[in-house]
Structure 1
Amino acid sequence: MGDRTDASSSARRTRRRALASGAVVVMGLLAGVAPVGAGAAGLAGTTVSPTAIPNADFSAGHRSWRVSTRTESTIITRGSHHAMRLKNRSTAAKRTLALSSVPGSTGFVAGSTVVVRAEVSSSRRRGVAGLHLVERSASGTALRSVSAPSKRVYSGYRTVRTSITIPSATRRVSVRLFVRGARRDQSIRFRNITYRVVPPAASSPGPTEPDPGATPTEPTASAPTAPAPGVGCSSLNDPSQRVLTFADEFDGSSVDASKWRVRDDDHLSFDAAYLKKENVTVRNGALTIAGRRMSEAKTVSGGQSQRWYSTGYLDTIGKFSQEHGRWEMRAKLPTDGTRTRGVWPAFWLRGDRTAGEIDIMETYGSPSTQTRYNPSSSYQATLWQDTNLGPKAGKWTAWAHQDWQTHTPAVYEGYHVYGVNWMADCLQFTIDDTVFATVSTKDVPWMSTAFSGPFNIRLNMQVGSSYWGMPDRQNTKDAFDYVVDYVRVYRPGS
């Protein structure tokens, strides 16, 4: 990401290094970083509080920040306020401009929620701005990441904001700001990067810290008994606080037609597989969605015309839907790192009356065409405001607990329980009963309307992704299975 054109960068060009594969990236956006100013060594200990991003206001220039390659960076000063300007110096038609912080200090109270906001503007109405928070170990290893809803950029400043829950006092946080789709010579500015920490057991929200530079508004009173974001969602992790409303243990010899619809002789527009009912089976106490290479390709209209792989898809449309509660699935994923390019299993919810979508679990096989990353070792949870508009509308996403640097332990190693807790003001994602991400309507306001009304369940396995890669004989095996032990749904209550 960038060749710096200021004098201080010339001595550092030889020191560019790629981040550990996928370390601070959601959907593989960051190709590499170049250290700017002081290196990361020693900086983590300079912060006096775990709530501080080193040099968040850019008053110390480039120190503790890294910029993307082929990017010119400049500090813009207006009085006592500073902004970082990035300018695209690449010859590529479109690319991502990124600004990444070194990790802050340890010392968070376990269970605290760290909230980060920043402002971004652009010299052109081109591109989409985003913010990633990365939870790191004390040594700096990336463990998981959470992203803010993406926003279109223009000449005026727009605010991006998200939060992450820190499970341990030994954890650290780093920040990555970016604009995807920047054109040649396009300039981006980042300013007013702020941190705050919400205690884990707050019974009521305290006053919100004012945003520097924000337009003053009339204050509004908070209800003194309102729970802190995520508290309501966390209650569903207690079995005594939920009531079972749907369960399939797959103990029979065929799919229960009173619970599921199985799609047949059909295809999706954005992968390279063909849907067959015969690929969905129940035996030995488990549901299996099979992916198989066919002896002859199936020709379809729309999307990839030649479909060499068959797969399965089932849902509860018209049979079961629910608003709020907990959804969980125990499954073994087929995306091991050996010849599973394009394999894409998912467990997700879609609105009966809205276009909102809750992706509880999606993961992708390896080797992917994004050669810097191994997506199969982790999995992704995503929220979509409108599935018909995709990234053009609101989107929030988080990768799970896996260590992107070593790729171990991988989610495809054995069975895991993938879950989501959904309440009116929040969603919380879990793996094996451990929370890895929580998002509230305060951080993502469009959740209130996108996730209103009942949602149905979807289980499917796509084969082929325009981003992670389409299947081929060399990198995709002929047979792979997505095996589900059970699916259970609960409503709040006791």
Structure 2
Amino acid sequence: MSTQDPSTAGTRPAGGRRSAPHRLAAAAAAAAVASTVSLLVAAPQAGAATTNLVANPTMERSTTGWFASSSFALARVAGGHGGGYAVRLRNAATTTRTGVVNDTVNTVRSTTAGHVYAASAWVRSSTPRRAVSLRLMEYRGRTYLGQKVGTMTLPDTGWHKVSTVYTARTTGATVDVNVLGVRLPAGASVLVDDVTLRDATPVVPPPADPGTPGDPTGTTRAGWTLKWADEFDGADVDATRWKVDDLSTYGDGNSELACLMDRPENVFTSGGVLTIRARREAAPVRCGDRDARFPSGREYTSGMLRTTAAWQYGRIEMRAQLPTAQGVSKGLWPGFWMRPAGGGTGELDILETIGSGPGGTEWNKIHQTVWYDYSGTHPRQTFTATTDVDPSAGFHTYAAEWEPGVIRWYVDDRLTYTRTTATTPWLDEAFGKPFVIRLNMAVGGSWPGSPDATTTFPADYRVDYVRVYQR
């Protein structure tokens, strides 16, 4: 078991990627044809993020609206950010502790499900290399619903801005704002000033072409006809459409850490959304009888689904909200991809993303790849689309159009990447058969690395729909 994440300290009670061993050393050593693009997928909502919801953000005249956790002292002091005053959080205990500057009344009084709340605070320490966190926590009464944490190790004694973003899970809940001095020695302190929390909900535009004119259901699409779909409107995952992996797979070919489980804690539907949830378990979970790497159990669990139906050719489309928020998602690896129903060559990665810790740069990158095989017979060909917004802050569409001799990738209906038999001579050979769709979220692995103390769990990969169109 890992030690407790300092970001879970507070004063209120808290109510794989694929399993196929395709990222083996041989495949990793194969040369990849790679490129990158910047992709604008949404703009901030007009008028959003303009009102600071924090009642006393500057602490200029008093500490009203704020209190310190037990064994810590809170005082208004001179030398604030930009002059004036700040508040000082000092460890008054005789041992090293994590302290919290907490809003007395939760700053967001009533959330709206799916709204994005962006927070920041200016922090300073009397000594360098102190870790400070900013945390947003959602509650319904005293029931804890979720959180996001941004953490920064201050390199010096100057003022620095720490920030985080949280997407509300429900309507009518509250959001609690905390600034944490992490593992402060006895007598040590940090200064806090200019705390902000704003509703920064971005516009998530509908697909540019949801169907032909007069067809709002999306049953047709500019020359494509809907052949199969799951809108996840049922109370449970539809077993006639999906097989959910359970215990038998755990991605050891990629050095993954999570046991993939068929249970409501990891895979469930609610409100028309499928959720694949990665969890850090309180106690190790046995992952079948053949788990040689972790015979005593695994610390992480997650889920993977694959369709019971298979298709050769079509437009394969998903609308989803990704779990790879900036700074708090290291070690997460969600995927939307296809493999042959009967095995053999070919893999189509419509979407892969990996999370990042503080300072990481992967949070807004969408990786799109074709594979011939995993032994390097031909190098995989891959592309990176870089978005200008946070894909974890709302729902976006991801699709591939697969036809004889060509595969095209799209993000929010913008063409990002194309492979043809001219660029990829083995394309039709590798993809000349029916494929199934897979959805999963790995934890750890040879590509994203392991989670660290900044990774927030549970982490949710939320899918609004999956659709298959054909000509």
Structure 2 residue aligned with 1:276: 261
Alignment counterpart, residue 398 of structure 1, candidates 383, 389, 393: 383
SS at structure 2 position matched to 1:375: coil
Query: What is the match of residue 325 of structure 2?
Result: 336
1:487 aligns with 2:469: no
- Determine the structure 2 residue equivalent to 1:87: none
Distance 1:483 1:382, change over 3 A: same
Which residue number in structure 2 is paired with residue 314 of structure 1? 305
TM-score (norm 2): 0.51
Q: Does 1:254 align with 2:236?
A: yes
Structure-2 change in CA distance of 1:307 and 1:420 (3 Å):
same
Contact map agreement 1:286 1:483 (CA 8 A) in 2: yes
- Residue 394 of structure 1 contacts residue 446 of structure 1 at CA under 8 Å; is this kept in 2? no
Question: Offset at 1:255?
Answer: 0.6
User: Which stretches in structure 2 are left out of the alignment for 5+ residues?
Assistant: 1-28, 40-211, 213-217
Once the 2 structures are TM-superposed, how far is the Cα of residue 395 of structure 1 from its aligned partner? 0.3
Trace 1:6-405 onto structure 2 (pairs within 5 A). Answer: 129=31, 132-135=34-37, 239-266=221-248, 267-269=250-252, 270=254, 271-278=256-263, 279-298=266-285, 301-302=291-292, 307-316=298-307, 319-353=308-342, 354-367=344-357, 373-387=360-374, 389=375, 391=376, 393-402=378-387
Distance across 1 between alignment mates of 2:34 and 2:438: 28
**Alpha-carbon distance in 2 for matches of 1:248, 1:424:** 25
Q: Extract structure 1 runs of 4+ deviating beyond 4 A.
A: 127-137, 235-238, 302-306
2:33 and 2:379 in contact (8 A); partners too: no
Whether the 8 Å CA contact 1:289–1:483 is kept in 2: the answer is yes
2:405 to 409, 425, 429: 425
Which amino acid in structure 1 is aligned with residue 356 of structure 2? S
Higher relative contact order (CA 8 A, sep 6+): 2
Alignment deviations for residues 211-244 of structure 1 (CA, whole Å, 9 cap, x no partner): xxxxxxxxxxxxxxxxxxxxxxxx9998141111
Match of 2:438, as an amino acid?
A: R
The aligned amino acid for 1:310 is T
- Separation in 1 of the partners of 2:412 and 2:272? 20
Given the superposition, is the C-alpha separation of residues 254 and 382 from structure 1 closer, same or farther in structure 2, using an over 3 Å criterion? same
CA distance in 1, matches of 2:413, 2:312: 21
**Residue of 435, 440, 464 corresponding to 2:415:** 435
Provide closer, same or farther for how the CA distance between residues 343 and 131 of structure 1 changes in structure 2, counting only shifts above 3 A. closer
Gaps of 5+ in 1: 1-126, 138-234, 403-407
Tell me, in whole angstroms, the C-alpha distance in 1 between the residues paired with 2:274 and 2:30.
Answer: 39
CA distance in 2, matches of 1:237, 1:465: 38
Kindly indicate whether residue 390 of structure 2 is the aligned counterpart of residue 410 of structure 1: yes
Q: 1:358 to 1:304 in 2, by over 3 A?
A: farther
- Contact 1:247-1:487 within 8 A present in 2 as well: yes
CA contact (8 A) 1:246 1:490 kept: yes
* Residues 463-474 of structure 1 aligned to structure 2 (within 5 Å): 463-472=443-452, 474=453
The Cα offsets for residues 411-464 of structure 1, whole Å up to 9 and x where unpaired, read as: 222100000000111100001111011110111111111111100010100000
Equivalents in 1 of 2:414, 2:428: separation in Å? 25
Q: CA deviation at 1:309?
A: 1.0
Counterpart CA distance in 2 for 1:292 and 1:458 is 20
* Structure-2 change in CA distance of 1:134 and 1:295 (3 Å): closer
Are the structure 2 counterparts of residues 365 and 304 from structure 1 closer, same or farther at C-alpha, using a change threshold of 3 Å?
Answer: farther
Distance 1:286-1:128 versus aligned 2 partners, 3 A rule: closer
Counterpart of 1:78? none
Question: Aligned equivalents of 2:409 and 2:276: distance in 1?
Answer: 23
Q: Distance in 2 between matches of 1:130 and 1:265?
A: 32
Counting aligned pairs with the same residue, the percent is: 36
Equivalent pair of 2:396/2:412 in contact (CA under 8 Å): yes
- CA deviations 1:155-180 (Å, max 9, x no partner) are xxxxxxxxxxxxxxxxxxxxxxxxxx
Check conservation: 2:32, 2:379, Cα contact below 8 A: no
Measure the CA separation in 2 of the matches of 1:259 and 1:130.
34
Q: Secondary structure at the match of 1:400?
A: strand
Name the residue aligned to 1:476: 455
Code of the residue aligned with 2:300 in structure 1: it is Y
Tell me the CA shift for residue 130 of structure 1: 5.1
- Report the Cα distance in structure 2 between the residues aligned to 1:333 and 1:135, rounded to whole angstroms: 19
Alpha-carbon distance change, 327 to 131 in structure 1, aligned in 2, over 3 angstroms? closer
Helix, strand or coil at the partner of 1:437: strand
Equivalent-residue separation in structure 1 for 2:355 and 2:394 (angstroms): 16
Two-structure CA RMSD over aligned residues (Å) = 2.6
Contact 1:379–1:411, Cα closer than 8 Å, also in 2: no
- Map Cα deviations across residues 110-157 of structure 1 (whole Å, 9 max, x no partner): xxxxxxxxxxxxxxxxx75555445579xxxxxxxxxxxxxxxxxxxx
Please state whether the residue corresponding to 2:428 is helix, strand or coil: helix
Q: Is the 8 A contact 1:331 1:416 kept in 2?
A: yes
User: Residue 363 of structure 2 aligns to a residue in which SS?
Assistant: helix
For 1:393 and 1:304, locate their aligned partners in 2 and report how far apart those are by CA, in whole Å.
33
- When residues 132 and 396 of structure 1 are mapped into structure 2, their CA distance, relative to the original with a 3 A threshold, is closer
Q: Does the 8 Å contact 2:227/2:470 carry over to 1?
A: yes
Contact 1:272 1:471 in 2 (8 A): no
Which AA in structure 2 matches 1:259? R
Distance 1:355 1:304, change over 3 A: farther
